[in-house]
Chains A and B, each alone.
Chain A
């Protein structure tokens, strides 16, 4: 059980004079729900980009599911991203000209084979079964975010990475999205949520606090109902 899905050893990210991340060391176990918290400019998005294989750290070692991703080239990073990570963005980032189900299928397509039935099931699971043939602009914000989640889940990633998943959502939709996360957690998915909102972080089982690129606290959320 206690296998580490993600390990960061002394990771730093330096853009010229700016030290976005400094000497972060962190390990995440399989099935964990971790929140990375911090205000704007604390380095949380940088961290998410490194973990999500979208940026390479300037220093340090990142191990994802037993692979040292900090040593990989761009092409291999793409493959890791495709096979192991499900990404959820604050701005949703859907492809405007594809329908909901097609937006899910495109992730399948890049991964292996597009399977419409499976994609529809994934939409069903996030409660979007009836909106499968709609274009993103015809969906509400909450629906778009649920679509993003469905897309992130479709390839059974080892790790779900969400960057401010509720940043653009109202409370009701935030609730829905959090409920989905709870279900995923219950099913054993590993989830990392990057957020500035204590409310969102409160759902997680473990919270890491960042400030000015440094990790200042790593605590287990004791109040959590289903810990």
Chain B
């Protein structure tokens, strides 16, 4: 169960300013049914560019409804220029905070407000101009960048909490990481994940073969033994001991203490060496 503040619960149970304004001066629509939440904001603006009335229609969860309701209360009576400065943080604070997974509801409120103001002023919506990064939820790179800057986001998970980007199929996660790095002016690429778990099967086999040829076989041959690689299956390296090793009682120790240890040190620390029967 989500932990909602009393103020969120109040705005959800008793939402203010629900409905349409018949001849609204500005209308802003964001979200869609497929995405799971959507907000349509209506503004009535007087001759002095002041918002005299704001109404909303919302499809979504409790925090989406509460954020919309709070937004209309916050902007009614404000000059447009002032209203335009309202951020998603302001909406969340007005409600006494939102669960972090629900921050995107406050972002939706802010975006609807921008859309409504742009509609009133007859200008294109700047945020929609960007390149769509997350196709599942239709989020542009500009929206992501702004969320990072304004909310000082530190991780891709936070980007998802605030914008929903990356919360669907997950294909855009690498791109989000890139945007995050750029936004935080970290030009240097992240340290590449060098965990050997990333080896492809072929790379793994090649490295095992190389190591066996280079170090293991010469060492065993000194004692009249030998080793042959039979198969590599996942982390299991199946080998056959030859020559003196084949009959040596200590061959199991050799296998585990020497061969497996070498392979783990130099190829992959999860490898398990077993003797093929």
A and B assemble together: no
List residues of chain B with CB under 8 Å of any chain A CB. Answer: none
List residues of chain A with CB under 8 Å of any chain B CB. Answer: none
